[in-house]
Structure 1
Amino acid sequence: MIKIKTLNTDISIHVLRKLLEINHNRIDVYKTAFNGTRYKDLKTFFTGCIKTSQKCNVELENEVQQLDGDILNNFSVTGKIFTFWMIINVALSNYGRKRILDYCKYGEEIVKKAYHKVLQKKNSKNITIKQIKIITKQQGLMESDHKNVSYLRDNSV
């Protein structure tokens, strides 16, 4: 007898919402970084990171809606605290490139871990193959941004 795997859509929606939350927080962090720097090359880079997360969110929102889930816009306290903390630090300080990129690198580490966690075998059993492909593609985009932040930070004076 063949055992047919069924998805728990509530868990699927929860997983997708977590990635939505991560991307919303990432957008907030990069908007703050954009407003906190005078370096045009960083502003261009931060704009690209914002656009990446916005695009990822559109894809994730479509998947949530296909599962008849609601798109929630309430973000976690942890994400809000980090974003608030970054806003305060940038506002009260005249940070140079390296310091701003340190904050961005920290945020990218959180994003990287979140995507990795979702794609672990035990967690990916409640998302569809299509969703795994979408998330894997997004993970690649995030990994590229992570490497670029690291490069920019490591080569800043």
Structure 2
Amino acid sequence: MQNKNENAVNVLQELNQFVNDRIEGYKHAADLTKNPAHRSFYNKLIQESNDFSNEINRTIGSFGGERQDGTTAKGKIFRGWMDVKSTVTGSDEESIIESNIYGEEWAQKAYNDALDHKAELPQSVISMVEKQKHASEATCEQLKQMKESVD
């Protein structure tokens, strides 16, 4: 049977793959957008995501685990699909924002999956995951507002 530290490491390593997908997704969006305000927003989200990843990796290390710097296979496939889509249809702002909304909804699912293990996690980990999840929810709402403004 695993102890709380091992459970925390496993949950956080998996979660950090999704956070790293978030970083790559916003880098991709910043490269594609032609709107300077959107690019600035995406760059802010890249920094926020880097901060989240660093926080997760510090916590993993404090429990004796190895850093998680990789991304998910699904994220890689999605970014590849976005490249194909932008080549065929162009990189319009609405489709970039829609992709980011999808990515944030996916990130929230990853946070929820991590929180499904609350009984196995230290309170400090639960608090960190909840804080990051709330930030993701706020970002998703901002993206939805951005989408409405470009319609």
Please state whether the residue corresponding to 1:155 is helix, strand or coil. helix
The residue aligned with 2:141 is: 147
Please state whether the residue corresponding to 1:125 is helix, strand or coil. helix
1:27 to 12, 17, 23: 23
The residue aligned with 1:101 is: 97
The residue aligned with 1:61 is: 57
Tell me how far 1:155 sits from its aligned partner.
Answer: 2.3
Distance in 2 between the 1:144 and 1:119 partners?
18
1:85-100 aligned at under 5 Å gives the runs 85-100=81-96
> Across the two proteins, how many residue pairs are aligned to each other?
150
The residue aligned with 2:113 is: 117
Larger radius of gyration: 1
* Contact persistence 2:8–2:125 (CA under 8 A): no
Distance in 2 between the 1:83 and 1:143 partners?
21
The residue aligned with 1:135 is: 129
Amino acid at match of 1:75: T
Gaps of 5+ in 2: none
Cα RMSD (Å) of the superposition? 1.6
Amino acid at match of 2:140: H
Give the TM-score taking structure 1 as reference length: 0.88
Matched, 1:46 2:67: no
Distance in 1 between the 2:60 and 2:70 partners?
15
The residue aligned with 1:3 is: none
1:13 to 5, 9, 13: 9
User: Matched residues, percent identical?
Assistant: 22
The residue aligned with 2:78 is: 82
Tell me how far 1:139 sits from its aligned partner.
Answer: 1.0
Amino acid at match of 2:46: I
Tell me how far 1:153 sits from its aligned partner.
Answer: 1.1
Tell me how far 1:91 sits from its aligned partner.
Answer: 4.3
Tell me how far 1:73 sits from its aligned partner.
Answer: 2.9
Please state whether the residue corresponding to 2:120 is helix, strand or coil. coil
